Structure 1
């Protein structure tokens, strides 16, 4: 009897073979509003300081083992114990490592829709993924999450505030109720990539229990997406275990130097975050009475635009040189595009392009 042929690359784990790649196709456009980046780069004077320091750095030497000097600067900025700070090249790396820490052979719990990397990493690593649908207003399904936390586990919980991709910000009581329900059996992660654009700051919630983690990034309000740098704030005990999974010397001297300069001059970040919030509210107000598009409320540096036909709306904007991100294949987001807040001039162009579109 002939045995069934083995699949190609049978040495690759089945979980990896069956998991799709990260869903992103780059497109060139004059106005790029598709990736929730900052519309502005590091200020020129700070860039010059960073370049001068790089000119004096030893490029032939390995950087700090665990980005130690940067960890201490982050800790000072966040008023956090440096032993509870873990730094990696992007918070998506931390999502992967947290899945290795608490998800493999266990459960990864989040909501639906969500940041796709949660589910991708769970799938790649063979963890059980449970996603509870958001409420109709995009708020946290508190009862559903608490049920899963009580009935399942142990594992890894992701709560995103404000939520991506909707931009919804939940009240603290609901967030606390979910985190409290995680008890000791779950590592509870509060993903705060966009917290600078809200009145929310979850550090007090994280301090209440040693198995809680805040994820933060330099990619959004700091305007440093090109550096790829994120960090976790947690207890020293959990940080010590998470750090075991981080590759040695994982933050290079370029990234560390530029981030340290930024941390020494945080006023620019706060000013730009405030400007982004003002621009977000201006854009949402300008689109509030559009005859066919619905600009949904947001507390992030992006918003969802619900349209009758996402493809037609996407192509219309692209024809005007404006690139946004389609989200219409996600649950609950039929017809939706995700639009980042740009510079005032870019936002003016967006408003004009949308106001000029009253039919397809």
Structure 2
């Protein structure tokens, strides 16, 4: 009896080797596991966006390259519209950035880092180089400078504030790394997904650079994760190269209507960001005397809870109806859980659960 021939696959080995994005939804009362803004888009703004959407003819294609929405973002950001690129979520931008400058080249970032950077690098065949964060979670400036010199240029990710630690670096350290990378020909991405919570803004570095860009999102401070819209700011030449990699008609009328409405009413976003910052500090103060657990400082809408036993702490919070994310398998984050800042009543439940650990 002969054995069946081994079936060959046209799927690239790099894709088969990479696991799917690591997230499993948990159905509990307090959802604090995805760094979301806990508040929905205001009802009155939903109505305005719906009216806008209904005014569009749905039988027509949207803008080829989201030009109407790019112009609205440009006005809000005081930027040249030709230097704005928008896609359905900043994760899509990370993919096209890897396609632009990572395939067959280098993707350089810290360890730990945002998982999508590494997943896209590995699936698209880039050389992935990781420099470990310092023990205090700060940017490893000297190690990064050495890596910039040791490897051929590609894409460098500098995340400010950092995910998953919530740490913000000294502006002079960020500037030193970004300017060095730009001088060496790297495409340098300053990922500012959480910048509203930190009060930071690196657009000046983008304006001064040759191949520097700021990556931003409507998912966090704006509270529009379900709409899926992320964008970047850069110079017009680099934006033009990136736009070649964005599929045509990728931003639909619904997304356009919601984002245009949000940009016309940024006061709701600013108020919610201010509340999250205040609530983050309240959680820190209310748990600071815990004998074994520690809420680590953060500049984002989430924080790390360092525990003696991450599994036990995770199960304890789950038993109190609170979903969070384990981070204890990542370098330097032993015992850590990542927890989003919720609404005040959700944070009350969280504080009580932490203090009863």
Query: TM-score with structure 1 length normalisation?
Result: 0.97
Superposition pairs for residues 260-275 of structure 1, below 5 Å?
Answer: 260-275=260-275
> Structure 1 residue 9: deviation in Å?
5.2
Superposition pairs for residues 9-20 of structure 1, below 5 Å?
Answer: 10-20=9-19
**Residue 150 of structure 1 contacts residue 181 of structure 1 at CA under 8 Å; is this kept in 2?**
no
1:149 alignment counterpart: 148
In structure 2, the CA distance between the partners of 1:9 and 1:336, relative to structure 1 (3 Å rule), is farther
Inter-partner Cα distance in structure 2 for 1:55 and 1:127: 43
The Cα offsets for residues 206-256 of structure 1, whole Å up to 9 and x where unpaired, read as 111120010000000000000110000000000000000000000111111
1:297 alignment counterpart: 297
3-state SS of the aligned residue for 1:109? strand
The root-mean-square deviation of aligned C-alpha atoms, in Å, is: 1.4
1:323 alignment counterpart: 323
**Residue 85 of structure 2 contacts residue 243 of structure 2 at CA under 8 Å; is this kept in 1?**
yes
1:220 alignment counterpart: 220
Inter-partner Cα distance in structure 2 for 1:334 and 1:113: 12
Where structure 1 has 5 or more consecutive residues not aligned to the other structure, the ranges are none
**Residue 148 of structure 2 contacts residue 184 of structure 2 at CA under 8 Å; is this kept in 1?**
no
Inter-partner Cα distance in structure 2 for 1:5 and 1:147: 49
Superposition pairs for residues 324-343 of structure 1, below 5 Å?
Answer: 324-343=324-343
1:111 alignment counterpart: 110
Inter-partner Cα distance in structure 2 for 1:9 and 1:145: 40
Superposition pairs for residues 239-278 of structure 1, below 5 Å?
Answer: 239-278=239-278
Inter-partner Cα distance in structure 1 for 2:22 and 2:318: 19
3-state SS of the aligned residue for 1:226? coil
Where structure 2 has 5 or more consecutive residues not aligned to the other structure, the ranges are none
3-state SS of the aligned residue for 1:164? coil
> Structure 1 residue 68: deviation in Å?
0.9
Aligned length: 355
> Structure 1 residue 199: deviation in Å?
2.1
1:309 alignment counterpart: 309
The Cα offsets for residues 296-320 of structure 1, whole Å up to 9 and x where unpaired, read as 0000000000111111111111111
Inter-partner Cα distance in structure 2 for 1:263 and 1:254: 14
1:230 alignment counterpart: 230
1:65 alignment counterpart: 64
3-state SS of the aligned residue for 1:224? coil
The Cα offsets for residues 100-142 of structure 1, whole Å up to 9 and x where unpaired, read as 0000000000000000110000000010000000000000000
The Cα offsets for residues 44-88 of structure 1, whole Å up to 9 and x where unpaired, read as 110111111112221111111111111001001011110000000
Inter-partner Cα distance in structure 2 for 1:184 and 1:48: 49
The Cα offsets for residues 259-300 of structure 1, whole Å up to 9 and x where unpaired, read as 100001011111111111111111111111111111100000
**Residue 210 of structure 1 contacts residue 237 of structure 1 at CA under 8 Å; is this kept in 2?**
no
> Structure 1 residue 323: deviation in Å?
0.5
In structure 2, the CA distance between the partners of 1:314 and 1:205, relative to structure 1 (3 Å rule), is same
1:279 alignment counterpart: 279
> Structure 1 residue 184: deviation in Å?
4.3
Query: TM-score with structure 2 length normalisation?
Result: 0.97
Superposition pairs for residues 159-178 of structure 1, below 5 Å?
Answer: 159-178=158-177
3-state SS of the aligned residue for 2:85? strand
In structure 2, the CA distance between the partners of 1:262 and 1:37, relative to structure 1 (3 Å rule), is same
Moved over 6 A (4+): none
Inter-partner Cα distance in structure 2 for 1:278 and 1:205: 29
Inter-partner Cα distance in structure 2 for 1:152 and 1:181: 13
Inter-partner Cα distance in structure 1 for 2:311 and 2:298: 22
2:87 alignment counterpart: 88
> Structure 1 residue 355: deviation in Å?
1.3
